[in-house]
Amino acid sequence: MIPERIPTVPDSKEIIERSFKETKKVQDIYLPNFLNKVKSLSIQKVKMMESVARRSLGRVYDGFPKFDDLDRFERDLLFILVNGREYERSLNNLRWARAKIVELATNSIRGIKKASDLNSIGRFRSSFYGRFSSVIEDVDESLSFLRESREALKKIPQINRDMKIVIIAGFPNVGKSSLISKLTNLTPEIAVYPFTTKKINVGIMKMGNGLYEVLDVPGILNRRNHNAIERVALAALDNIGDVVLCLVDPSEECGYRLEDQVRLCQTLKESGKNVLVVENKVDLERTSSNNLKISCATGEGLDILRKKMEEYVYARQAKGNSVLQRP
Ligand SMILES: Nc1nc2c(ncn2[C@@H]2O[C@H](COP(=O)(O)OP(=O)(O)OP(=O)(O)O)[C@@H](O)[C@H]2O)c(=O)[nH]1
Ligand SMILES: [Mg+2]
């Protein structure tokens, strides 16, 4: 599962500044022996820096999902949205930095405890400060990569697997987002140009006694080499969904030939999916086919579609083969 809240990611400068700022708050304590007093103060400061940095790095490391936390659908999406190897490396770098800081602090404290004069204490402390800063600076790139990944992770939808899932798929511009806005309370962006939808929109539809999840996915072209936007849709089709509504636009107002659109539905069927072909924009073009005909513009056929969807959800199993062209 993708956590609902993914932590914000500070940069290395912020972590260093925050750590130094906190050390200033360390209280001077009364000790009769001056050397012991300086030792105690130095140890407190080192501990404070270590703890602030450890917590800052830990919040990011612990808050970002690891590959093992994700299912196949989420993992496929993550790999489409960000460089998976870089993601893993960045998280490992943070884990390394966190452990390194603990190690540096432990060594520094050990040295301070053993020190017999003020100069040695100062040397141990400033050596810790220097090495501390350079470890944090070393992970600056990883921090900024994770900051970008956070935006990508937010695009991975939270999908409740206990509900039946209906995916609205098809060529770009055929009216998929228009249809989800008719079936659910969702109001995604609808526009006259292709590839308006770039991420998966999830709406809830009430049918009979149950609730269904309806997914509006980006448009897919019937070709071998899909772009990143199409692959978002394919990741969903590959891994989830009880029914696929393959929406086509016989008016070809979408900008694509009906023949090609129908071939995509055929490909989906051949991969073993539970596909219901639906012709949209019947207000513009009515064919003589046996396919279900609807118009998101006039509302025609939507009630029949709802009934048919329910039949399909329960009639067949939707597990199919991969349609995602893996590189
Ligand atoms: N005349 C007519 N136009 C429609 C109908 N349904 C959708 N449209 C129009 O078709 C265009 C594309 O609609 P969208 O819902 O954005 O299509 P989409 O399939 O989600 O497009 P992408 O997200 O780009 O893949 C918009 O201009 C809609 O207003 C319909 O039933 N009749
Ligand atoms: Mg759309």
Asked whether 42 lines ligand 1 (CB < 6 A), one says: no
Same domain, 56 and 88: yes
Would 226 be classed as within a structural domain?
Answer: yes
Is there a domain that residue 324 lies in?
no
- Beta-carbon neighbours within 5 Å of ion ligand 2: 176-177, 196-197
Per-residue pLDDT tens digits for 77-98: 999 999 999 999 999 999 999 9
Tell me, yes or no, whether 311 and 173 share the same domain: yes
Task: Kindly indicate the confidence band of residue 147, based on its pLDDT and cuts at 50, 70 and 90.
Answer: very high
Q: Provide the domain limits for residue 90.
A: 12-153
Q: How confident is the model at residue 161 (pLDDT cuts 50, 70, 90)?
A: confident
Number of domains in the chain: 2
Q: How many angstroms does the Cα of residue 218 sit away from the middle of ligand 2?
A: 6
Question: Does any ligand 1 atom lie closer than 6 A to the CB of residue 219?
Answer: yes
Instruction: State pLDDT tens for residues 257-292.
Output: 999 999 999 999 999 999 999 999 999 999 999 999
Q: How far is the CA of 194 from the centre of ligand 1 (A)?
A: 9
* β-pair type (210-216, 201-207): antiparallel
Rounded to whole angstroms, the Cα distance separating 31 from 43 reads: 14
Rounded to two decimals, the pTM is 0.84
Q: Is residue 80 located within the same domain as residue 137?
A: yes
Same domain, 203 and 307: yes
C-beta separation of 123 from 38 below 8 A:
no
**168 shares a domain with 274:** yes
Same domain, 179 and 309: yes
CB-ligand 1 contact for 194 (6 Å cutoff): yes
The more confident residue out of 188 and 207 is 188
Same domain for 71 and 28: yes
CB 302 near ligand 1, within 6 Å: no
Q: How confident is the model at residue 327 (pLDDT cuts 50, 70, 90)?
A: very low
Residue 301 and residue 176 in one domain: yes
CA terminus-to-terminus distance, the chain: 25
Distance from C-alpha of 238 to C-alpha of 267, rounded to nearest angstrom? 12
* Any ligand 1 atom below 6 A from CB of 283: yes
